[in-house]
Copies of this chain bind each other. A is one copy, B any other.
Amino acid sequence: MIHFSQSLTRLIGELKKLPGVGERTALRLAFHILKSPRLGKDLAESLLEVHAGVRFCSVCFGITEEDPCCICSGERDETVICVVEEPQDLLAVERSGAFSGRYHVLHGALSPLSGVMPADLKIAELLRRLEGSSIREIVLATNFSVEGEATALYLGGLIKPLGIKVTRLARGMPIGGDLEYVDSATVQKALEGRNEL
């Protein structure tokens, strides 16, 4: 690649660091950006804006531009905290419109095999929020993966002894789910948790 421009080579290198972007995609993106210089400039500016302005809330560790975030400082139910793995999970719960309490973002899930231990997550920060607070329920909304389930189990073990109610999102059939195509573990959980009509 001798005839490449140095700065373009650098751009391709940076693009390759994005998830799911390999050599070919990075090349395609770079040439696309090259063809629309406006896009490159706008993208750079908004990256710098995010870099300068977006931080994690010091209370819930969600994404925010002001600290504490609008959820932590807003008029939300202070007695319920929904615990999620990542900031995007917070958005998913928020989008559902079914939760009016506050949040706590762990920034990951326990995964001893990949070296993610309790100290790597915002667990100590969560326990500190519970001390002498009026919180009466913790909704564990970690993912339903091995790591997410392990994290929920671990948190339950820590929080229940404090006399706080600990709940987990219901497992069952997804809306629009087709029995034929849903995995059998989900069907099993849906059967176990069946409700009377």
Chain A residues in the interface with B (C-beta under 8 A): 1-8, 10-11, 13-15, 17-20, 25, 27-34, 37, 39-51, 53-54, 62-65, 69-71, 86-88, 90-91, 94-95
Contact = CB atoms under 8 A, between A and B. Distances in A.
Given A34-B54, A87-B34, A46 B14 contact: yes
Contacts of A49: 7, 10-11
B5 A46 contact: no
Contact of A5 (B15, B19, B54, B90): B54
A179 B50 CA distance: 51
Nearest to A18: B29
Given A18-B32, A19-B32, 11 more contacts: A3-B62, A5-B53, A8-B54, A10-B49, A11-B46, A11-B47, A14-B46, A19-B29, A37-B51, A40-B47, A44-B44
A6 B50 CA distance: 9
A8 B1 CA distance: 35
A47 B44 contact: yes
Nearest to A95: B1
Task: Give the 10 A-B residue pairs with the shortest CB-CB distance, closest first.
Answer: A44-B47, A7-B49, A44-B44, A11-B46, A14-B43, A10-B46, A5-B65, A44-B48, A40-B51, A40-B47
A65 B14 CA distance: 19
Counting chain B CB atoms within 10 Å of each CB, which of A6, A10, A44, A49 scores highest?
A44
A40 B34 contact: no
Contacts of A2: 94
Contacts of A5: 50, 53-54, 63-65
Contacts of A69: 3
A82 to B, nearest CB: 13
A54 B14 contact: no
